[in-house]
Each structure stands twice: as C-alpha cells, then as structure tokens.
Chains A and B, each alone.
Chain A
Amino acid sequence: MANGNVITTHGLTKRYGSSITAVDALDLEVHRGEVFGFLGPNGAGKTTTLRMLLGLIRPTAGSAVVAEHRPGDPKGLRRIGSLVESPAFYPYLSGRENLKIMSDYAGVSHTRVDAALEEVDLADRAKDRFGTYSMGMKQRLAVAAALIKDPEVMILDEPTNGLDPQGVVEMRALIRRLGSGNRTVMLSSHLLNEVQQISDRVAIIRKGKLVAQGTVQELRGESAIVVRVTPVDAARRQLDRMLGAAAVTAVDGTLRLSVDPNKAADINEALVGAGIKVSELRAVERTLEEVFLTLTGEAA
C-alpha cells in the first residue's frame, strides 16, 4: 500500500449498450482508515461503481484496485465487507443461519456470528426467518454479514435505506464506530447531510462522471464573512489595513472578507470603533448540500 490508498480506480467506465454510460472514466482514491462518502443523485452510477469494485460486474474500460487486489479476487474479497443495493438472504432461514452460511462462504468461523448480530442490534430477532424481517432489520442483517469477516474495508451502498429516523441515527453511529481506527469505509448515498456528518472525504458523481473529490471542508470552499457597511470606502480602507487587501472583495454593495467567521466580533468592534455603520454582518458557510446541488444540478 505504497500510497496509502485502499481503493484506487483509473478511468473506470461501464457502458450498457451504446447509449447508456453508467460510469464514465472515474478516478477515485480512497485512503486507508478514512470514511469516504460517495455521493450522487439517483442514477448517477454509484451502485454500478461499487459493483465494479466488488467484481460483480466487469468494467467496459479502466481498472480498479481494492485492498491490493483486482476486483473479485477472493484474496481481496476476504478483506472486504460489503452491502450492495438491497439486502439479499435466504428467506426460509433465520438471520443467524444466514450469517453462518455467509461465514462458511467467507471461510471464517461461526464464532463471530453472534457478535455481529449484537453489533447491529439484531440478536433478539436472530432466530426468526429472514423472510419475516422488516426492511430495517434486513438492512441491519446485511451490515452484520459484512462484519463477520472483520474486514479492513467496508463498501456500503446506501446503508440507511429503509431505516426509520432512530435507525438512521444508530446506523450512522455504527458506521462512524466501524470507520474509526484503521478500517476504511466507503459509503454511498444520495443524502448529503448523512455523508457530511460521518465522512472524512467525499466524492460527488453526476451522470457517471466525477465532479468533485476532497475533504468536506475543501468541497464547501473557504468560509467568509460578509458585511454591509456605510461608508464603504472608509470601511474598505480600515479592513485592508486590518486583514490585508487580498482578503477583501466588494460584492454587490457588500464586502466579502475571506477570514475565519470566528473573527466576526473583532471585525465588528474595529469597524464601529472607526465610526463606520455596520448594518449587516454574517458568516457565510456553504453547506455541502449547496455544493452538491450546484455540482449535480441540471444548471451546473
């Protein structure tokens, strides 16, 4: 793992027929130990990408390396726990039996089954048939199945799908816990705030193309303070002196100050002290949501 990447893709592409390009020349880097949010609106190509990373489908072009192996290699899969699209298990068997079967396939002992059930809070329903589970319980069983290998890498496709608000909160906490330490979690979602809260870095795709990749902070852009002041010229001179001319830009009759929003009180004090009237002073912080909508919207 020379560069510390657990997942790397180069020009990863999947075409269906001649008209649909589900994933288009994707270059991703997921670093060891991070929680990586993979964002995109419906139909953006998230699930298709994750299927390629797991070797379920073959890329039309490009390549990927996951846990030091090509996708689908049993040696790599041994180290990857995953959930792709909807949870799928044998409906006539209990949750516990299903996990035992998946342990057999994974070549790990059954001893982790009960711990995994505890982890997802499903222990008391473990004896019931999977077919009788609610959507949320199915989802949690799928996460448990991903956990039985004690994987270094977890690839989770919309893990909060179908969960109630309480379940969403619990799942988020679980993912954060799973992603702490050395384990890498790649998590897809079309819900911004969800990913924003637990991810170290995110990638945003739209129509199969990568539109942004970086830390949440990087994607939100720098935060700033906007002030509406009179007289503007005097205020500008004062602020140039205080913050440096480069940090001050005039925008639509306001001044935009590229500084930490925590400095708002100091700035206010300085301006008022210089006899300048401050009619508005606010911090501007783009939410990831705004970034997302701009990047993925039709207008973008």
Chain B
Amino acid sequence: MINSFKADWRKLRQRPAVWVLGGIMLTALLLFGYVIPWLQLAFPSANFHPDPGTTLQQMKAALYPINFLKNSLTGVGIIGGILTLILGALVAGGEFNWGTIKTVYTQRPGRLQTLAGQVGVVSVIAAIFAVAFYLVAATASLIIALSDGSAITWPAVIDVFKALGATWLIFESWSLFGIALAYLFRQSAMAIGIGLAYVLAIEGILFRLLSGFNAGWLTTVEKFFLGQNANALIQSFGHTVARGAATAPLISAGQAVTVLALYAIVFAAIASLVVRTRDVT
C-alpha cells in the first residue's frame, strides 16, 4: 500500500493533466468568484441594480476576507465537483488507456493495494486542491478589500477548517465517483462522459424540471443524490448576502456529510469489487 502510494504519487505529481485541472479550478474561482463580480460592482453599468433587498456596499462586502469562505464555497459544488470527477476518471482510466495496469499488476503490489494507493494519492491531491482553493480565495479577497480601503477581518479559524473539510469531502466523493466509473468502463473518456451526463442531465436538468411538479416523493428521492448533498453542505455555511427570510434547508449539514461519506465508501467498494474480479487483458 505504501509502495503503491509512492508509485502513484511519483506518477501523478508529474502528470500535466492533474495540474491543468487544478489550474482550471483556481482560474474559475478567481474569474467567477472575484474578478467578474468585482468588475461588475466597481464599474457598474447604467442598468446595474443590486439584488433586491441589498445595497451595492453589501454586495461588495461579499468579496471581502470575512466572506472568503462562503463566497468561494459556491464554486466548489459545480466546478470543483466536475473537475474532481474528471481527475478521478483520468487517474484510474489512464492506466487502462495506456495498458499500464497490466505492467503495474505484474510488478507485485496486489490489486487492492494498487487501488488503495491510487485512492490515497487522489485524496491527497483533492486536499491540495482544497487548500489551494482557499489560499487563492483569501488572497483575492484581501487584495479587493485593500484596494477598497476596507477594514480586514477574517472568519473564525474553526470555520476555515470546517470549510476545508467540507470541500475536501465533496472533492473526495466526486473523484471516487470518477475512479469507480473508470474501472467500470475500463477507460477515462467514457467515464468522464457518463459522469458529466449524470451531473448535467440528472442532477441538473431533470431535478430542476421535476421540481416544478412539487411532488413530495421527488424531494425525498433527491435527498439521497450526490450533487444535492454536496450543495446542501455548501449552503450550510450560509450566504454572503442575506436574502429574505431563511428557509429550513432540505438536507441538514450533518446528513449531507454522512451521505457524502457513504457515497465515497460505496464508490470505493464498487471499484474494489471490479478490480478484484475482472480479467486484465
């Protein structure tokens, strides 16, 4: 397991695709979380109106350090989820694409140990992504606050760790989804395709369409989906700008953590099952 971890770490830290994904994530965070909102607020166009019930100043404050966790968390669910799904699919699927899986299996480690090492390294990369994510967000918020001459206050340390933990858990469950898909389909392209189709079609379009029907059973079903729980966990950190009366969340933070962890375990179990029983040709 240690040997497999070492091997995968050596392999993945040098793999350009991994850091390209990380780069895309940070760029998206900077652009959509800070640069574009700041440009909108700093140079408002003639027909720009703050969101109902808020002021321009309140919206600007959303970009300041006190809000850097909440403001960047919003990007974790969708962009972070998709990118870590791709990460998992690329890492596990690459071994099939290149045929290296047979070279690795015949070296020695044992199939489950190989999988464990791989999951271990992906977990570390997910943690690196999460830390980099908040470092970039904190830096961007600090720069904006300084340029606005606003006072600098940071969120409580405990909240920083909570946000890091939540983000890592979300990344982890999505990347394990990608890994499981790659083992199932024995390639990365199919795994990414199916994964994205799931995120966009099922979690995105279908649930939005069906929510119009306001059916009780549907909300019950939704409560158990990966994306919905990731969103619930994100929402539990609150909004940067208070909007009207708070409604009771569909899924509590505690449940979301449990469900996400369960997903991670189930995906790992699926991958182990496939890894143990399949022929490798």
B47 at the interface (CB under 8 A from A): no
Interface CB pairs A-B, < 8 A, 21? A51-B279, A55-B105, A55-B106, A57-B280, A58-B279, A77-B107, A82-B106, A86-B99, A88-B103, A90-B11, A90-B98, A93-B14, A97-B10, A97-B14, A101-B10, A104-B7, A105-B104, A105-B107, A105-B114, A106-B108, A106-B109
Q: Which residue on B lies nearest to A58, using beta carbons?
A: B279
Q: Contact check, A104 vs B108: say whether CB atoms are below 8 A apart.
A: no
Known: A90-B15, A101-B11. 7 other contacts (CB 8 A): A56-B280, A74-B113, A80-B106, A82-B106, A102-B7, A104-B6, A105-B109
B72 to chain A, nearest CB (A): 31
**A89 contacts B108, C-beta separation under 8 Å:** no
Bitwise, B254-281 to A at CB < 8 A (1) or not (0) is: 0000000000000000000000000111
Q: Once the chains bind, are A51 and B103 in contact (CB under 8 Å)?
A: no
Q: How large is the interface on A (under 10, 10 to 19, 20 to 34, 35 or more residues)?
A: 20 to 34
Closest 6 CB pairs of A and B: A88-B99, A104-B7, A105-B107, A57-B279, A77-B108, A56-B280
User: C-beta contact mask, A85-107 vs B, less than 8 Å → 1, else 0?
Assistant: 11111111100010011101111
A100 to B14, CA, bound (A): 13
Residues of chain A whose beta carbon lies under 8 Å from any beta carbon of chain B: 51, 54-58, 72, 74, 77-78, 80, 82, 84-93, 97, 100-102, 104-107, 142, 145, 149
Please give me the residue from chain A that is nearest to B7 by CB atom: A104
B89-129, CB < 8 A from A: 94, 98-100, 102-110, 113-114
- Interface presence of B27 (CB below 8 A): no
A92 to B: closest C-beta gap in Å: 6
Chain B contact patch, size range:
20 to 34
Residue of B whose beta carbon sits closest to that of A51: B281
Q: Which residues of B contact A102 (CB under 8 A)?
A: 7, 103-104, 107
Chain B residues whose C-beta falls within 8 Å of the C-beta of A85 in the assembled complex: 102
Q: In whole angstroms, how far apart are the Cα atoms of A104 and B103 in the complex?
A: 13
Kindly list chain B residues whose C-beta atoms are within 8 Å of the C-beta of A57.
279-281
* Residues on the B chain within 8 Å of A55, using CB: 105-106
The docked-state distance in angstroms from the alpha carbon of A80 to that of B103 is 12
Which residues of B have CB within 8 Å of A142? Answer: 103
B229 close to A (CB within 8 Å): no
Asked if residues B106 and A54 are in contact (CB atoms below 8 Å), the reply is yes
List chain B positions with a Cβ less than 8 A from chain A. 3-4, 6-7, 10-11, 14-16, 94, 98-100, 102-110, 113-114, 279-281
> Which of B3, B100, B107, B279 has the largest number of chain A CB atoms within 10 A?
B107
Beta-carbon contact of B108 and A78 below 8 Å: yes
Given A56-B102, A105-B3, A74–B279 Cβ distance below 8 Å?
A: no
Min CB distance, A106 to chain B, in Å? 5
Chain B interface, DSSP helix/strand/loop, else mixed = helix
Q: In the complex, which residue of chain B has the Cβ closest to the Cβ of A104?
A: B7
Distance from A107 Cβ to chain B, minimum over Cβ atoms (Å) = 5
Residues from chain B with Cβ under 8 Å of A51 in the complex = 279-281
* Distance in Å: Cβ of B205 to nearest Cβ of chain A: 36
User: In the complex the two chains form, is A104's CB within 8 Å of B14's CB?
Assistant: no
When the two chains form the complex, which single residue of B3, B98, B103, B279 contacts A107, counting CB atoms closer than 8 Å?
B3
Q: Are A56 and B11 in contact (CB under 8 A)?
A: no
B14 near A74 with CB under 8 A, answer no
* B279: A residues at CB distance < 8 A: 51, 56-58
Residues of B within 8 A of A101 (CB): 7, 10-11
- In the complex, the answer to whether B16 meets A92 with C-beta atoms within 8 Å is yes
CA distance in complex: A88, B103 (Å): 6
Nearest Cβ on chain A to B187's Cβ, whole angstroms:
14
Residues of A within 8 A of B14 (CB): 92-93, 97
Report the separation of the CA atoms of residues A90 and B280 in the bound assembly, to the nearest whole angstrom: 17
Please tell me if the beta carbons of A77 and B106 are within 8 angstroms of each other in the complex.
yes
Complex Cα–Cα for A107 and B279 (A)? 24
Name the residue on B nearest A54 (C-beta): B106
Instruction: Please state if B102 and A84 are interface contacts (CB–CB under 8 Å).
Output: yes
Measured in the bound complex, the distance between the Cα atoms of B3 and A78 in whole Å is 13
> Given A51-B281, A104-B6, A105-B4, does the pair A92, B103 have CB atoms closer than 8 Å?
no
User: Residue on A with the closest CB to B111?
Assistant: A72
Cβ-closest chain B residue relative to A100: B10
Quote the shortest CB–CB distance from A171 to chain B (angstroms): 19
* Of B6, B7, B109, the contact of A74 (CB 8 Å cutoff): B109
Most chain A beta-carbon contacts within 10 A, residue among B98, B103, B114: B103
A56 to B106, Cβ gap below 8 A?
yes
What residues of A have a CB within 8 angstroms of the CB of B281 in the complex? 51, 56-57
Complex Cα gap A282–B104 (Å): 54
Q: Which residues of the partner chain A approach B3 to less than 8 Å between Cβ atoms?
A: 104-107
What separation, in Å, do the CA atoms of A105 and B110 have in the docked complex? 9
Q: Are A84 and B106 in contact (CB under 8 A)?
A: yes
B11 contact set on A, CB distance < 8 A: 90, 93, 101
